[in-house]
Structure 1
């Protein structure tokens, strides 16, 4: 984390900027696939950030040169997860970050299929 009172990771509570300013007034990300467990990594090669990029966006891209979860990035930036989710979503949309979600949980097998397997095993006896 950065030193108190300075740098890109300055806590939002200590900053004159409110979270809605950092997210340009949005409270929801453009993607609904980014969760707290989503892993973020900078694109390779990463396109240059625009001059208008905020210091939080610059810091997030720098942090994500190594694989980092969204919640870890929020802790390092000392920002609410919801704010970092919006920033990360924008950076994924612009091609600066890649988001890797976890493996989806397996769905329960179809009960009819299980019954057919059981019936087949019983016939083998």
Structure 2
């Protein structure tokens, strides 16, 4: 493929991958979601049909609300949007604070694990 000298060369542009933006730039350096942590298998549901034109919403925020019109787990959402799970969690914290999404955690995630069941699983694995 011959080089295209008419287009300027940029350090932030990868010909194969497209524009490259670091995850910390998307989350503005934040690594934890606002309002506390949540389980990765929790379901996300948008609370409104159309994303309002708020100036502080990133394109990634809009993509999350659009994709979450039907219930979707956080890990599926990250895969669908091709974003890391950490970035999606931070963005979901923003959207939850703004009231644009609701999160529904499975009941098993909020209850402690039964120690007897865990011991039985370990014993079963050792028996293999």
Task: Find the counterpart in structure 2 of residue 118 from structure 1.
Answer: none
Task: Find the counterpart in structure 2 of residue 73 from structure 1.
Answer: 77
Which of 15, 36, 44 does residue 19 from structure 2 map onto? Answer: 15
Equivalenced residue count is: 96
Q: Distance in 2 between matches of 1:75 and 1:41?
A: 16
Tell me: higher relative CO, structure 1 or 2? Use CA pairs within 8 A at least 6 residues apart.
Answer: 1
> How high is the TM-score relative to the length of structure 1?
0.67
CA RMSD of aligned residues (A): 2.1
Q: Does the 8 Å contact 2:49/2:69 carry over to 1? A: no
Unaligned runs of 5+ in 2: 1-16, 115-128
Unaligned runs of 5+ in 1: 1-12, 109-125
Q: Distance in 1 between matches of 2:33 and 2:18?
A: 24
Q: 1:86 to 1:34 in 2, by over 3 A?
A: same
